[in-house]
Structure 1
């Protein structure tokens, strides 16, 4: 299976999604449209991963709009799509739903709560890495998957093979350090989780996050 990844900033890579791909013998291609402007075609995409980034789906940039064309083509073809943070927002925006300021800016570690049992075996409560101040509206055709204490719309699932998460399960310890040391100022500016970059690094990554990331991806592939 060819997995195409859209990466949107140097310090937010695929993390454990890449490990999952390698463990399953898939081929992964990582695109950087914010820098090079290149995107894969729908026909050469078996699964699409849309990672986070500092931009907004509301930004008037040609490559952001082109991403949504690709997302729509893959939705029409019933191919699996996973979006993290900005990526989840891009999926919702493609479906015609608003992206707006969240009631709280979340940067750091905080619990998320499972809101349905569509995917078996997911714990009722998990600790995830948050790095956002915007949020998506949950599409009518999707089910709310996760909520946090500060922001209700934290995750959705649609048709069994499209998942968007406002937070991050994919970073491993090295990824968290890379995110925090390069974007520490973001955590210091009006952060309602009140965590510094050093505190975020010191927290460590819960071991179950990798397992749950694998579960989500396995479920999506099974239902495609």
Structure 2
């Protein structure tokens, strides 16, 4: 399987998604469209991973619009996709749903609560890393998957092929440090009221990587 990853800022990489790909024997190709402007084609893509970033799907940038062309093609072909934060928003925007300001800016660690049992084996509650102030609308075509105390729309699953999460399960300890040391000014104004040290000193739960594996296994399962 060829996994194409769309990365949108240097400090938000694929994290444990790479571990999953290596464990399952897949090849991973990481694209940086914000810098180089290149995207894979739908025919080159067996699984598309769309990562987070500081931009918004509402921004008037040509490469953001081109990403949605690719997403639409993959939707039509029934190929699996996983979106984190901005990536999940891009999927819902492609489906015709709005991306808007969330009721609260969430930056830091906070619990998320499972709302559907459609993906087997997911825990009822997990501690996730949040880094956002916009949110998607859960598509009518999808099942609501996660919520948090501050923002209801935190995750969705659609057609056994697509999962979008407003938060992050993929970062490991090194990834969290990279996010924080480079983007620490963004922490200001978060409803979670956590300091740089609070975020850095919170261990990444081992369940997050396990959950990431279960989600990716689910959307790539032969059905």
TM normalised by structure 1 equals 0.98
Matching of residues 55-74 of structure 1 within 5 Å:
55-74=55-74
* 1: CA distance, partners of 2:126 / 2:141: 25
Aligned to 2:7: 7
Aligned to 1:183: 183
Aligned to 1:42: 42
The answer to whether the 8 A contact 1:106-1:130 is kept is yes
Matching of residues 138-217 of structure 1 within 5 Å:
138-188=138-188, 190-217=189-216
Equivalent residue of 2:201, what SS? Answer: helix
The answer to whether the 8 A contact 1:161-1:223 is kept is no
The answer to whether the 8 A contact 1:180-1:198 is kept is no
TM normalised by structure 2 equals 0.99
Aligned to 1:31: 31
Alpha-carbon shift at residue 197 of structure 1 (Å)? 2.0
Alpha-carbon shift at residue 198 of structure 1 (Å)? 2.0
Equivalent residue of 1:38, what SS? Answer: coil
In structure 2, list runs of 5 or more residues that go unmatched.
Answer: none
CA deviations over 1:8-33 (Å, ceiling 9, x no partner)? 00000000001100111100000000
Confirm or deny that 1:123 pairs with 2:157: no
Confirm or deny that 1:52 pairs with 2:52: yes
* 2: CA distance, partners of 1:37 / 1:197: 32
CA deviations over 1:111-144 (Å, ceiling 9, x no partner)? 0000010011101000000000000001110010
Figure out how many residues of one structure are paired with residues of the other and give that number: 223
CA deviations over 1:186-222 (Å, ceiling 9, x no partner)? 002x110001222101011001100000000000001
* 2: CA distance, partners of 1:110 / 1:101: 19
Equivalent residue of 1:150, what SS? Answer: coil
CA deviations over 1:82-116 (Å, ceiling 9, x no partner)? 00000000000000000000000000000000001
* 1: CA distance, partners of 2:187 / 2:90: 23
* 1: CA distance, partners of 2:222 / 2:86: 24
* 1: CA distance, partners of 2:7 / 2:38: 11
Equivalent residue of 1:183, what SS? Answer: helix
Runs of 4+ in 1 over 4 A off after TM superposition: none
CA deviations over 1:124-165 (Å, ceiling 9, x no partner)? 000000000000001110010000000000000000110000
* 2: CA distance, partners of 1:223 / 1:177: 36
* 1: CA distance, partners of 2:69 / 2:117: 31
Aligned to 1:19: 19
Aligned to 1:79: 79
